[in-house]
Amino acid sequence: MAVDNASITEVVLGGTRGGPDVKTLREDKWWKLPLVTVLGLSAFVVYATWAAVWGDSNFFYLPHNIISPFYSPCLAHACKAAGDTGSPVFDWWRLSPALIILVFPLGFRMTCYYYRKAYYRSFWRAPVACAVQDARPGYTGETRAPLIIQNIHRYFFYAGLVFNVLLTIDAVQGFIWPTLHHQLVHGQYVTQSGGFGMSVGSLVLCVNATLLWIYSLSCHACRHLCGGQIRSFSKHPIRHKLWKFVTPLNARHMTFAWCSLFFVAFTDLYVRLVASGTITDFKIF
Ligand code: FES
């Protein structure tokens, strides 16, 4: 078969990806994915920053016991005043309580293997796409500072599991409503006999916790924890079972990363709209 010399790209080991002279020979819309990633991640960062830094009211709706995942465990006086007693209050902390909490889920996402690929490609543009020239020369990988810190991902994975447990407890508590006697809640007097109840908000918290668990279980560090560093699965049947369970999830890690990211922001928004009285959290029973 004849080879068209014009279609051959010279490969230079240690050289610039995409070639030194031409940015790329690709004619497809390779830039679409980095662009969508920039838009998606930027939207989340803008919203989450606003919610964490300036949104420290309306993150909790007492009658239906639903709390924003950005503010759980609740370390603010607002929760204590409303009756929550599950966590300590940091009196000395003058900034938004969400800032104490978000360090861990944020660290988990920032060091995630998928998100690393996503923001290296879309924000740093190194590498931006296969066979496309890097925006900056001298890519050194993650073998030295500052990117070597990405290797602590597995520890953020453990911290993420703790938060998954806390948010699961929140989801369960979203079905246990307090008794209120003409109590002022966000500008309205509420009376209700407490007990087991279900609202749309209870379900939103459940879906949020489920998606976060699936995201964590599909993590590469989780898969390694289940099946890594063993020579023979036949000698470790339980780990083999766990590895077989998480491997199909791991194959869809990117999907779960996006779904859980957007749903956690949606959950915060939902609680906020309910707590501020903008929408009603419809009672199912
Ligand atoms: S690799 Fe994405 S959360 Fe661990």
Residue 251 located in a structural domain: yes
Residue 167 located in a structural domain: yes
List all residues 6 or more positions away from 71 whose beta carbon is below 8 Å from its beta carbon. 56, 59, 60, 79, 97, 98, 101
Higher pLDDT, 254 or 187: 254
Residue 16 has pLDDT above 80, yes or no: no
Residue 14 located in a structural domain: no
Residue 7 located in a structural domain: no
Average pLDDT value over all residues in the chain: 87
Between the CA of 87 and the centroid of ligand 1 the distance, in Å, is 28
What element of type H or E holds 32?
A: helix 32-49
Residue 255 located in a structural domain: yes
Residues having CB closer than 6 A to ligand 1 are: 112-114, 153, 157, 219-221, 253
Residue 209 has pLDDT above 70, yes or no: yes
Which atom of ligand 1 is found nearest the CA of 221? 4
Between the CA of 1 and the centroid of ligand 1 the distance, in Å, is 44
Residue 190 sits at φ, ψ, to 5 deg, of -120, 135
155-164: pLDDT as tens digits:
999 999 999 9
Question: What's the pLDDT at 110?
Answer: 96
Residue 239 located in a structural domain: yes
Query: What gap in Å lies between CA 105 and CA 271, rounded to an integer?
Result: 19
Across 143-147, 229-233, 239-243, 265-269, least confident range = 143-147
247-259: pLDDT as tens digits:
999 999 999 999 9
Q: Domain limits at 225? A: 30-275
Across 17-26, 40-49, 180-189, 198-207, least confident range = 17-26
Between the CA of 216 and the centroid of ligand 1 the distance, in Å, is 7
Which of 113, 151, 158, 264 to mutate for ligand 1's pocket (most ligand atoms within 8 Å of CB)?
113
Which atom of ligand 1 is found nearest the CA of 108? 3
Q: Are 198 and 175 in contact (CB under 8 A)?
A: yes
pTM > 0.85: yes
73-130: pLDDT as tens digits:
887 766 655 555 556 667 677 778 888 889 999 999 999 999 999 999 899 887 788 8
Please, what's the b/e burial string for 56-90 (b: 16 or more CB within 10 A of its CB; e: otherwise)?
A: bebbbbbbbbbbbbbbbbbbbebbeebebeeeeee
* Residue that is written with structure tokens 């419809």 in the block: 282
Confidence of residue 20 (pLDDT cuts 50, 70, 90): low
Number of domains in the chain: 1
Between the CA of 218 and the centroid of ligand 1 the distance, in Å, is 7
Residue 4 located in a structural domain: no
- State whether residue 62 is helix, strand or coil: coil
Residue 78 located in a structural domain: yes
Confidence of residue 272 (pLDDT cuts 50, 70, 90): very high
Question: What's the pLDDT at 79?
Answer: 65
Q: What is the DSSP string of 245-280?
A: HHHHHHHTHHHHHHHHHHHHHHHHHHHHHHHTTSS-
CA 190, distance to chain mean position in Å, is 34
- Residue bearing the CA closest to ligand 1, atom 4: 219
